[in-house]
Amino acid sequence: MAALTPSPADLSAAAAAAANPRVHVVCAEPSVANHFLAELRDVSVQQDSLRFRRNLQRLGEIIAYKISSQLSYTDKTVRTPLGESSSKHLHDFPVLATVLRAGLPFHQGFLNYFDQSPSAFAAAYRIEGTAQVQVQVDYLSAPSLDERVLILADPMLASGKSLVQTYRAMLRFGTPRQVHIAAVIASPQGVEYVTREIPEATLWVAAIDQGLNEQAYIVPGLGDAGDLSYGSKL
């Protein structure tokens, strides 16, 4: 199949999404994150599901580090074998939330850095065979979110409906004081939808692609992150 060339409208939409001050695009500048993202997309590397999951973890770690600059810290003095040192300690570890099952390796990357964080999980899936994409959220597990920092992570931000519905469902556990949403690859449509529907959130993505196809999958994207991580499903 021939590669599709992004249209001027696609490029304009992606640029507009990236220009939003509440949107941070990690791979906009060259770094090792670009290498991990390239491997995630590469059909030959995707045959190795262990490497695919590890690259999702790595990007989760990189985005976690980026988000950490927005969190609160307190001064603390620690004793070393040779004296004392003043340092910054994370004041309040965020609650880490993700959407099953594709979000699990990405979530693990955040948990590797925020290792004292509690976790929240949601099961959300697309209802196929309808004129528009519909999303069903049928399982939730979360600690109290009242006055907490919430990081909601899902590898693929396509239409944005599953993330918005998951976030709204989680509000039954309390109202966070700060919200960060993280994805590996986003579409311009998903970025616009999420930033409009969750105006209190800051969005962090590795890349913004050209758009969605007729089935509402991101193009060029990388395929089904859940299947590539854990095997195809019936």
- The Cα angle at residue 164 between residues 177 and 98, in degrees rounded to 5: 75
Give 124's pLDDT tier (boundaries 50, 70, 90). Answer: confident
Three-class DSSP labels, 19-61: HCCCEEEHHHCCCHHHHHHHHHHCCCHHHCHHHHHHHHHHHHH
pLDDT at 61: 98
pLDDT at 189: 96
- Given a cut of 90, whether residue 200 has pLDDT beyond it is yes
Give 1's pLDDT tier (boundaries 50, 70, 90). Answer: very low
Mean pLDDT value of segment 174-178: 97
Place of tokens 């960060």: 180
pLDDT at 33: 98
pLDDT at 51: 98
In terms of residues, how long is the chain? Answer: 234
3-state SS class at 143: coil
pLDDT at 21: 84
3-state SS class at 16: helix
- Given a cut of 80, whether residue 5 has pLDDT beyond it is no
CA torsion sign for 218, 219, 222, 224 is positive
Give 11's pLDDT tier (boundaries 50, 70, 90). Answer: low
CB 96 within 8 A of CB 60: no
Neighbours of 61 (CB within 10 A): 19
Identify the helix (H) or strand (E) that includes residue 17.
helix 8-19
Q: Name the percent of the chain lying above pLDDT 90.
A: 76
pTM of the predicted protein model = 0.90
- CA 54 to CA 216: how far, in whole Å? 26
| Tens digits of residue pLDDT in 85-106 | 999 999 899 999 999 889 999 9
pLDDT at 6: 62
Q: Within a 13 Å sphere around the CA of 225, how many CA atoms are in the beta-carbon half?
A: 29
Give 7's pLDDT tier (boundaries 50, 70, 90). Answer: low
- Given a cut of 60, whether residue 2 has pLDDT beyond it is no
- Given a cut of 50, whether residue 3 has pLDDT beyond it is no
Compute the CA torsion angle 132, 3, 31, 39 (nearest 10 deg). 80
| Tens digits of residue pLDDT in 125-173 | 666 555 455 667 778 999 999 999 999 999 999 999 889 999 999 999 9
Closest CA to 193 of 169, 211, 176, 175: 211
- Given a cut of 80, whether residue 232 has pLDDT beyond it is yes
Encoded tokens for 173? 């556990």
pLDDT at 20: 84
| Tens digits of residue pLDDT in 18-41 | 778 899 999 999 999 999 999 999
- Given a cut of 90, whether residue 216 has pLDDT beyond it is no
